Chain A
């Protein structure tokens, strides 16, 4: 699957950032900057080097842009992709973030990542619930690692490899209306 293609799931489609969706991506990015959950963005990452482009998350129902997902190499750890996902809280619906995350992570492994690494603020309960639901266990708790929303917060660290991801995807796919059907590439550009 090409890194420049969109990927369609049951609830969302991931689109590479382009001139076609630049304004939507800018709006979501501006919203992200004001959302303390994203204080969890880890410091040890290099977004100049990545396992593929950042992508816009678009809801299949209605076509609204609802989030962004991106990655970078983890500094000091060859082959480890740090993945960040943001979904507009006002537009978030059950399953949207989980499906977008699962599809994007698949691309990281296809692009050669050895591990996918996530860092989540301790108060970001929706994401922590999502990770617990798909069976990803906490590996470390970085105490007072991030200053957000007026105080220091712990950051929880998660990581998994391609084999663990396949097990996660199998569990997740069974929760979807489409059963075990995986994501499909649908071409480089979204149709108007």
Chain B
């Protein structure tokens, strides 16, 4: 005997964009100022944010043309604190590379979980993954991903060029069912 969960009797049917003080919304071409404010806290090796309004508009247009890119702003008390989007989506393999940058990665678990929930809710993704350079300045971003359930899958040894010589990139991955387990243990309202 088995049963199918009725989405109308659970939160599975709801697109959740807010939780407590935190919320997420679509990133638009008018948001360059917001992205610029994140520049100082974003190691270029994680993601090189566009440096001009023109470049930012081109970047948003480019993302819009790609499948499953879902560029979003994360906010705390209506103040922008981060940007998330996906790239290198592989439709056949149902996975995508997650870029998540925050002004304070140590405090990013809830907005990051909101975004990840929205990504899994919006698309038939099976897996998200991320590479984070093993630099001191970037480790906080790897730890932020680990706090929402990402698992350490190894390193890409010496893949990242730097002034101090080649550095490793940390490989992190999160499966849909792992995220649901994380939600059940940490934020039940976000369970899919």
| Bound-state Cα–Cα, A117 to B159, Å | 9
Contacts A145-B127, A146-B93, A152-B126; A161 near B154 (Cβ below 8 A): no
Give the shortest distance, in Å, between B141 (CB) and chain A (any CB).
Answer: 15
Find chain B residues with CB under 8 A from A159 CB: 156-159
Give residues of chain B (65-89) contacting chain A, Cβ–Cβ below 8 Å: 88
- B89 (CB) vs chain A CBs: closest residue: A43
Which residues on A sit within 8 Å (CB–CB) of B93? 39, 43, 145-147, 152
Task: Write out the residue numbers on chain B whose beta carbons fall within 8 Å of the beta carbon of A142.
Answer: 129, 153, 171, 173
Q: How far is the CB of A117 from chain B (nearest CB, A)?
A: 7
Question: A160-187 interface mask toward B, CB cutoff 8 Å, 1 = contact, 0 = none?
Answer: 0100000000000000000000000000
Interface residues of B in 126-166 (CB under 8 A from A): 126-127, 129, 131, 151, 153-161, 166
Name the residue in B156, B169, B171 with the highest tally of chain A Cβ atoms < 10 Å from its Cβ. Answer: B156
Closest CB in chain B relative to A67 CB, distance in Å: 23
A: interface residue count bin? 20 to 34
Asked if A141 lies at the interface with its beta carbon under 8 angstroms from chain B, I say yes
Chain A residues closer than 8 Å to B166, beta-carbon distance:
114-115
Shortest Cβ distance from B67 into chain A, in angstroms?
A: 12
- Decide: A157 near B126, CB < 8 A? Known: A43-B88, A145-B95: no
Q: Chain B contacts of A114 at CB under 8 A?
A: 161, 166
A76 touches B131 (CB 8 A): yes
Contact with B along A98-141 (1 / 0, CB 8 A): 00000000000000001101000000000000000000001111
Question: B residues near A, CB below 8 A?
Answer: 88, 90, 92-95, 97, 126-127, 129, 131, 151, 153-161, 166, 169, 171, 173, 175
7 examples of A-B residue contacts, CB within 8 angstroms: A138-B154, A140-B171, A143-B173, A145-B127, A145-B173, A152-B126, A157-B171
Q: Which 5 A-B pairs have the closest CB atoms?
A: A140-B154, A140-B171, A43-B90, A77-B159, A147-B93
